[in-house]
Chain A
Amino acid sequence: MNSSAIGIDTLLAQLIGKSRAIQTKLDEGQREEFVQKVVAMPPEGKIKMLQALMDEVSTIAAQDAEAERVVNDVRAFLAGEFAKADKDINQG
């Protein structure tokens, strides 16, 4: 377990990288500035930011998972329907 590189600042940076709000609203330079500002915040600010970021990232994850599930289901269903039609038509 490598402990030296792990910390709240690292977690914050990772979650900022996952924030869709930040990704869509800020350009690269602004995102870097955002990270710097967060890192420079006092602990209570970091905690609040961490919590807010986790809220967003967890929301994104849940929504992505839902969307992914929908698309996967549709893909499997369509593949099955085409296969079934092929079987019906060619063998029937």
Chain B
Amino acid sequence: MKFIRHFDFQTFAAPLRERRGIYLEKRVQPSPKKPDEQTTPDAPDVIEDILNKLKELIESGSFLDKLEEWNAYMREQVTNTFRTMYPDRYGTINGPNEAELTKRIDDIILGIKELLPAQIDVYDKTNGDEYFTRYDNIFQEFGRSQYTVQKGADSLTGAMAKKADVFDDFSNLNEGDALTFKNDTNLVENGAVDWLQDNGYKFTKSADGKVRIHKDGTDPDKDDTIVENGLKKIWCIHISDGSGGTKVDGVVTLDGDGDMVVYKEDARRITELLDAPDASGHMVEQTVIGNADKMTNATYKVTVEEEAGKLVQKVEKVMGQTDAQGIYDKESDPNDPERQLAFDILEEARVLAATDGTTKDDDLANRINDVKALIEKSFAPNSWGESIRGATGGKKLSEVTGTSSGGGGSGNGGPKPKPQPNSQPQLDQSGVDTAANRAGIDTSKELSRQDIESLTTEITWEDGMENITFGSRKVNVLSDPDKAKISEATAKVAAKVIYMVNKNLIQVNSTARAQLASFNRGKRSSDGYDQLGSAVGDLHKYLVRNPNVGRTETGGRTDTPLGMNKSDLENVIRAETSGNPATPSQINTIVRNIRLDAVDFTDASVTEVTFGADNKNLITDTALHAGLGTDADRIAKEAAITAYLMKEGLISLSGKAAAQWQAFQDGDTFYFLSGAANNLGSSFDAVHSFYMK
């Protein structure tokens, strides 16, 4: 078994004089030895032998079981070395200095024993099996053969499509079925469409290059072909050539006349199709994300669906590009769950790389950081920047609901400083640059924490800055002086910093951006609080430690078990969604703005919501709570709130989310929703993931 691949034991095993240059330069550098600590010429070889043995035992994966073997080896090696090095003193076995030698050896063995950790958790064969199984399972779920057909409603797995019985007439075609492509220049003239022909369809190529697919024996110029055979939801043949990077090689879709048309690999053709005038009213809506130039490096999902009696064609880029800039375009939905997931995972990758990179993975760390920075830079206006901008111009939740200002008989809250929603700070780049000059700071560079603090002291407080709020909970600490434990001065400094970041008036490093992005996405625990200066750090820490600050206050009796009146809930939801189907992040925001401590979790309408075929109850399922980790209580409760909102119809769901929710209601927990439960928010996703395990 290979062990400690990066450990590079050959380096360690090399003679000390050869090793020193490499080792000291790139790896952990031991403290310089004092002159009187230099070993004798013979000692290093013995040391390396001993280290080799130590490595061998660790590698075996059961080191602690072999301590006796290790001690015996140590004793023999060191004893022999001492006898050889000092023959006059220790050369005679059972000689006059034997007791001294024995004590010396005992001390060494004891000393080394103390250096060994209580457990050396090595990566052994069992670990490898575990991970390999996990990879294999992912392939089972997502993997395809080299040439594959992807089909199915909503571009989910073929298994799901079959389950939905969408493809009755293509029952012989299965997810992963191989297609034969002799070349990728013309799908019609090669074997790519053989399977269609084998299934009783005929292709008629027209002069304009279109190929009309129709049932053999039917008139290709009429619409009674595939569409009328109940196959209009087959909208795409998505082909991966396995050459690295999934791409659209060919598309079978409906043209403006409702005919099914095969297009060869030509992203621009897809664009042209979408840009084509609506000849028949069949294609009335288009969703194009990205541009043709990037299509060849991306995965595009082409759908034609029937909505409200009309055929709607959509082209949508999905993640998986080979180009970092293309992971998401600026035009992509900032609330796209996959995008958020990618952010989270890339954040984890960054952390992983940063940890790993201290010794051996600098290159990977840098690249991952580059990806992260690129994504953040690309989406600054739409992602975390949007969160800040929304917060800046947005309203505190209580302002929307009116529940925290003492009104509505709640009895909560006294007079509070009223934000001035119409005031806008006038600070611009010129003002920042002037202040930076005074502080001796170059704003053309990414600012350090110290730079930010120095600059902020030169920035004058302006009207409107008091409206700035923080994080997904949109907390305005300045307007909540009764709750905030940080000083007003600190809050003002933090507000100034956030304002400048929001307005892109200063550049901060990627760590700071990541911290703030994470914060604004609602993550309440993250490191690096101080990356944007101590004031922001203090504020962040305060909010992390006080999870209820910023949540909607309620008081008195309410007509829902959530501690809020239904009308207030509706206002909250409408303020977040503008009446549109809620995105996952909007669901998260809404749920997290409901005070958990105000929710009556004994109310049947909350507790009766169960999940999956086993009717799991979120509040009482101890296995779930044990499996969700340290934050289980919050996750379970937020999931229960999410479920309540859905059950009561308070949240309008997208088609996909509604299907998931319905499937959950039907008890179809473990299959149908696979990999897509995050459309119902992160807490729901966490619960689903638990049950999926």
Contact = CB atoms under 8 A, between A and B. Distances in A.
A39 B131 CA distance: 18
B128 to A, nearest CB: 4
B245 interface: yes
Interface of B: 1-2, 4-7, 12, 27-28, 30-31, 33, 36-40, 43-44, 46-47, 50-51, 54-55, 58, 81-82, 85-86, 89, 104, 107-108, 111-112, 115-117, 120-123, 125, 127-132, 134-135, 138-139, 141-144, 146, 148, 150, 155, 240, 242-246, 299, 318-327, 338, 341-342, 345, 348-349, 352, 355-356, 359-361, 364, 367-368, 370-371, 373-374, 675-676
A74 to B, nearest CB: 6
Contact of A48 (B5, B128, B675): B675
Nearest to A61: B356
30 contacts: A9-B322, A11-B349, A11-B367, A19-B135, A21-B127, A22-B132, A34-B135, A37-B144, A40-B148, A41-B138, A42-B155, A43-B319, A43-B338, A45-B143, A47-B342, A53-B135, A57-B356, A61-B360, A63-B121, A66-B120, A70-B115, A75-B47, A76-B30, A77-B112, A77-B115, A78-B46, A78-B47, A78-B112, A82-B43, A87-B36
A82 to B, nearest CB: 4
B48 to A, nearest CB: 8
A63 B121 CA distance: 6
Interface in A6-39: 6-11, 14, 18-25, 34, 36-37, 39
A37 B244 CA distance: 8
B319 A8 contact: yes
Main secondary structure of the interface of A (DSSP, over half): helix
Nearest to B297: A7
B345 A47 contact: yes
Contacts of A23: 2, 5
Q: Which 7 A-B pairs have the closest CB atoms?
A: A45-B142, A43-B319, A43-B320, A6-B324, A21-B128, A21-B131, A82-B43
A59 B127 contact: yes
Contact of A20 (B2, B139, B322): B2
Nearest to A44: B675
Contacts of B146: 36, 40
Contacts of B125: 24
Contact of B345 (A42, A50, A89): A50
Given A1-B373, A65-B359, A79-B47, A47 B319 contact: yes
Contact of B123 (A14, A20, A53, A75): A20
Interface of A: 1-4, 6-11, 14, 18-25, 34, 36-37, 39-87, 89
Contacts of B373: 1
Given A39-B246, A66-B121, A7 B115 contact: no
A68 B352 contact: no
A7 B319 contact: no
Contact of B139 (A8, A37, A58, A84): A37
A83 B33 contact: yes
A18 B74 CA distance: 33
Contact of B244 (A39, A47, A72, A78): A39
A28 to B, nearest CB: 14
A46 B364 contact: no
Contacts of A78: 43, 46-47, 50, 108, 112
Contact of B352 (A44, A61, A84): A61
A43 B318 contact: yes
Given A6-B323, A47-B319, A67-B7, 8 more contacts: A7-B323, A7-B371, A19-B135, A20-B5, A21-B135, A49-B135, A49-B142, A58-B355
Of residues A47, A58, A62, A73, which shows the largest number of chain B Cβ atoms within 10 Å of its Cβ?
A47
Contacts of B327: 7-8
B355 A61 contact: yes
Contacts of B82: 85
Nearest to B108: A81
A41 B143 contact: yes
Contacts of B120: 66-67, 70
A6 B320 contact: no
B47 A7 contact: no
Given A2-B370, A14-B364, A78-B108, A8 B320 contact: yes
B693 to A, nearest CB: 13
Of residues B338, B345, B355, which shows the largest number of chain A Cβ atoms within 10 Å of its Cβ?
B345
A20 B338 contact: no
A18 to B, nearest CB: 8
Nearest to B1: A24
B320 A46 contact: yes
Contacts of A69: 28
B134 A42 contact: no
B17 to A, nearest CB: 14
Nearest to B133: A21
Contacts of A61: 6, 352, 355-356, 360-361
Of residues B120, B123, B240, B371, which shows the largest number of chain A Cβ atoms within 10 Å of its Cβ?
B123
B430 to A, nearest CB: 28
A58 B28 contact: no
B249 to A, nearest CB: 12
Nearest to A42: B142
Nearest to A39: B244
